Structure 1
Amino acid sequence: MTRTQKSRRTARQNQPDGREAEREPRWWIRDIVIAGIVALITGGMIAGTQVYIQSRLDTEAADRAERLENLRFVRERSTADPYQPRPFRGIDLTDQTVSGLYLPNADFHGAILVGADLSNTTLRDADLREADFADSKLYGVDLRGADLRMAKNLDSAKHESHMDEEKGVFVMAGICWDKETQWPEGFTPPQMEMRPIGRELCRG
């Protein structure tokens, strides 16, 4: 075998199998593919987050608009007529100002009154069963004859209070009510006192 033939044979032996070369992509092609996949995943996550945030913002805006419309609906029915229909069952008045309104016999059964300002509002003989009063303001509210059975979070409502010397604790005060007022089971009603409500004196 000549020297030239030996060189050609050695070159063929040192050359990698073509099929193996095809199975292993060049390193820069692999990196480009990986980078593309990562970019797609990251882009999808960012787009999904933006859609979620926008959806939340749209929902919150719609909720605010609904509550403002609910407030308008309630205010329109604040009249001296005690027989004016006031169908507010389940209404959402979260963080709305409902103070100083005249709403006797109103149906607030299951209403969401979280953070609502009900100061000096007349709710005489109103149905307030299962209404949620969390963080609501009840300064001077008139609850004579109102039905508050199963009402929620009355303990967290904001109201006037004073020290009960016998019990050594601050107790609820400044709320107008009478013997016809029905309270949630286990709830301690505010201490009865003379409170001016509008033009009249309320004993409650």
Structure 2
Amino acid sequence: MGALLVAGQWVIDDRRSDREVQISSRQSEQAERRENVRFVRDRSADERAPRPFAGMDLGHQNLAGLQMSSADLRGAYLVGTRLDSAVLTGANLTNAGLSGTTFTGANLRGADLSCRDEPKFVACNGSAMGVRFVSADLAKSDLVDVNLSYADLGDANLVEANLRGARFFAAKLYAADLSGAIVSGTDFAGACYDDLTRWPTEFTPPPPADPRSCN
């Protein structure tokens, strides 16, 4: 009986120790993110300051409206992050984690959101699935091989954007402007669009999908 009680206590102690480790790990992650956000905000306030945010964990944070033009966000963790109305002109977001990120009304003109083979960062899968780009300015941006399935690009400016190899299954392209965009190898099958969507000259898109499939 005594041995059973001791063994049971060991199990309880092990579980308690595991919980404490998990709690400590979460607290450490939250503290790191708070410090990262403070650093980003400080650099955003100074127009002349460099913005070396590569590899930072900024997941699920509110960075809406910040000035981050030419920011280095390579490999940054931006999952679930709010970047609505942020200025990201010329920003480098290659290999950044963007699942669930919102860019509503953001200025991403000339930004690079593609995937690159960089040993310093974990290779991304080119996914921007479900990302909100509503009314975002993505003119001349680089979205090569990016998976934009289920993304909301309503009223987005994609003029002269490089969309080579990108995928738009179930993406919303209502009133989006793709004039002059590079669409070689781009897959628009299953995308939802309307009469206000503008396409590159001499490009014929596939028939629009049932709007219900893009909800």
- Say yes or no: TM over 0.5: yes
Aligned positions of 1:135-146 closer than 5 A: 135-146=100-111
> Which residue of the partner structure matches residue 128 of structure 1?
93
1:153 to 116, 122, 127: 127
Residue 91 in 1 paired to residue 56 in 2? yes
Question: Could you say what secondary structure the match of 2:43 adopts?
Answer: coil
CA gap of 1:37–1:174, structure 2 versus 1, over 3 A, is: farther
- Partner SS state of residue 110, structure 2: coil
Give the corresponding residue for 1:45: 11
Does 2:177 align with 1:192? yes
Are 2:38 and 1:58 equivalent residues in the alignment? no
Per the alignment, residue 42 of structure 2 pairs with 76
Q: Does 1:172 pair with 2:153?
A: yes
The sequence identity of aligned pairs, in percent, is: 29
Q: Classify 1:61/1:36 alpha carbon distance in 2 versus 1 (closer, same or farther; 3 Å).
A: same
Q: Which has the larger radius of gyration?
A: 1
The answer to whether the Cα contact below 8 Å between 1:148 and 1:182 also exists between their aligned partners in 2 is no
Amino acid at match of 2:153: M
CA–CA separation in structure 2 for the residues paired with 1:97 and 1:170: 20
User: Match of 2:84?
Assistant: 119
Which residue identity does 1:160 align to in structure 2? V
More strand by share: 1
- Residue-pair matches, total: 150
How far apart, in 1, do the equivalents of 2:106 and 2:79 lie? 15
Structure with the larger helix share:
1
* Kept in 2: contact 1:145–1:182 (CA 8 A): no
Letter in 2 for 1:155: M
1:106 to 53, 71, 91: 71
1:78 is displaced (CA, Å) by 1.0
Q: Residues 171, 97 of structure 1: CA spacing in aligned structure 2 closer, same or farther, 3 A cutoff?
A: closer
Distance 1:62 1:183 in 2: 38
Q: CA deviation at 1:172?
A: 1.5
Asked if the contact 2:66–2:85 (Cα under 8 Å) also holds between the matched residues in 1, the reply is: yes
Secondary structure in structure 2 of the residue aligned to 1:113:
coil
Partner amino acid for 1:186? A
Structure 2 Cα separation of the partners of residues 55 and 146 of structure 1: 39
For 1:96 and 1:44, locate their aligned partners in 2 and report how far apart those are by CA, in whole Å.
39
Structure 1 residue 182, shift from structure 2 partner: 4.7
Residue 95 of structure 1, CA deviation: 0.6
* 1:68 match: secondary structure: helix
Whether the 8 Å contact between 2:89 and 2:110 is mirrored in structure 1 is: yes
Distance 1:159-1:149 versus aligned 2 partners, 3 A rule: closer
Work out the CA distance in 2 between the residues paired with 1:120 and 1:145.
Answer: 16
For 2:106 and 2:23, locate their aligned partners in 1 and report how far apart those are by CA, in whole Å.
Answer: 34
